[in-house]
Amino acid sequence: MGHFKKLSKHVAAKLGLYRDPKTTREELSFKYIRGNGLEIGALHSPLPVRAGVSVCYVDRVDREESIRKFPHLDAAEVVDPHIDDGFVLNSISDASQDFLIANHVLEHASNPLAVLKNWARVLKPKGVLFVSVPAADKCFDKGRPLTTLDHFVEDYNAGAAGNAKILSERNRPHYGEWLRISEPNIYADRKEKYVAPSPEDMERRIDFLLDRAEEIHFHTFSTESFRSLLSYFADGLDTAMNLARLEGAESKAAEVRRVYARDLKMSGCLECGGCEKTGKCVVKDDMQTVYPHFEAADVIILASPIFFYAVTAQVKAPIDRSQAMWCKRFLEKGPDERKQYDSGKGYLIAVGATKGKSLFDCVKLEAKYFYDALDMTYEGGLFYRDLEKRSDVENHPDKLQEAFELGMKAVKTANVE
């Protein structure tokens, strides 16, 4: 092995002692990548794909800026991207892509589970997520501690709670590690002399990087740790949403829009009366992006875990804000017309940890009156007790099948096939 280390990669490859990861990626690409999709951060080295595959490259900056930023790259090789934040993909519709490629991108994300969720959002059912990260012990991160799964989950939870300040502070130790370990390794690789900064200088540099939210390798991976991150993600980030994957509806070619209540930055209803004369809410926050979906949907499936015998606070906020739609219905329909619901059908999926007999009483009533406000009939749904851990539901293929069938039934009964 000592002797092998002295061989160049080129010679070692010829002797069959080393396999270039690019070759492996290319083989996997030819095997799995089909149709139309995205590649994030391809820069000058896009993944080779089979003939007939169409790739839209996504980057935060345009080609000219990339060429300016990385003068050492061969400009002719730099791709011409569609401009968007590749970690968020705001400009890309849900369930629109056959694949998403991101090689050596995820280690630059300070909240990888949130990024994986954004990437999965744009994939069609059975779409392919093609993601690779560098193994820490094989790159300039050698010597840094491996990021644990718990750490990724804590990042995700801090992000989901909308706590940008906590999330940013969680990056501080990563900047420290990067400056103390990765940067000297980079100098050593380039055979350049590295002068260690004083402790005060080090703190100043950490503050500087933190201030600018500079993109570094925030996290470190091994094959095993990456696998555990992906399998945690593939299990679904929560039970209720896992059941509400709506593949059944998609299998019927329905257009599905997912709204994640916890991602919305919004208040509850202020009871200001602003909607009483117009049926429109006057509070300008993320709920304004939800109303058009409520208006357009033929079917709504609400999914929530049971928190204290009710839906979660995050789910309750858009329910309360549907008061504006209750006003609209009241303004548009007379008392007799209001006896009938004309705008579609609503379902509820709820899961709780205990076996309580009345566990779902409150949420069933809540759903009934929520759909009443939306001029929709409440059609019942799925109610599962005794599910505590996120992965519990994976041990119940019957429940997942029922959820699949609910999606199909919802499309069928809505007559939107």
Ligand X SMILES: Cc1cc2nc3c(=O)[nH]c(=O)nc-3n(C[C@H](O)[C@H](O)[C@H](O)COP(=O)(O)O)c2cc1C
Compute the least distance from the CB of residue 129 to ligand X, in Å: 22
- How many CA atoms are closer than 13 Å to the CA of 89, on its beta-carbon side? 28
Compute the least distance from the CB of residue 253 to ligand X, in Å: 27
- Point out which residues bind ligand X (CB under 6 A): 238-240, 305-309, 351-354, 359, 387-388, 390
Report the residue number, 305 or 346, with the smaller CB distance to ligand X: 305
Compute the least distance from the CB of residue 310 to ligand X, in Å: 8
DSSP 267-334: -------TTTTTS-----STHHHHHHHHHH-SEEEEEEE-BTTB--HHHHHHHHHTHHHHHHHHHHS-
Report the residue number, 244 or 254, with the smaller CB distance to ligand X: 244
For residues 322 and 89, what is the distance between their CA atoms, to the nearest angstrom? 28
Strands (E), 122-191: 123-132
Cα-Cα-Cα-Cα torsion 319, 320, 324, 329, nearest 10 degrees, comes to 60
Report the residue number, 89 or 241, with the smaller CB distance to ligand X: 241
Nearest to 286 by CA among 311, 258, 318: 318
Report the residue number, 307 or 330, with the smaller CB distance to ligand X: 307
- Classify 179 as helix, strand or coil: helix
What does DSSP say about strands 97-103 and 299-305: parallel, antiparallel, or unpaired? unpaired
Compute the least distance from the CB of residue 205 to ligand X, in Å: 39
Report the residue number, 162 or 184, with the smaller CB distance to ligand X: 162
Compute the least distance from the CB of residue 351 to ligand X, in Å: 5
Compute the least distance from the CB of residue 156 to ligand X, in Å: 13
Report the residue number, 79 or 306, with the smaller CB distance to ligand X: 306
| CA pseudo-torsion sign 91, 94, 100, 102 | positive
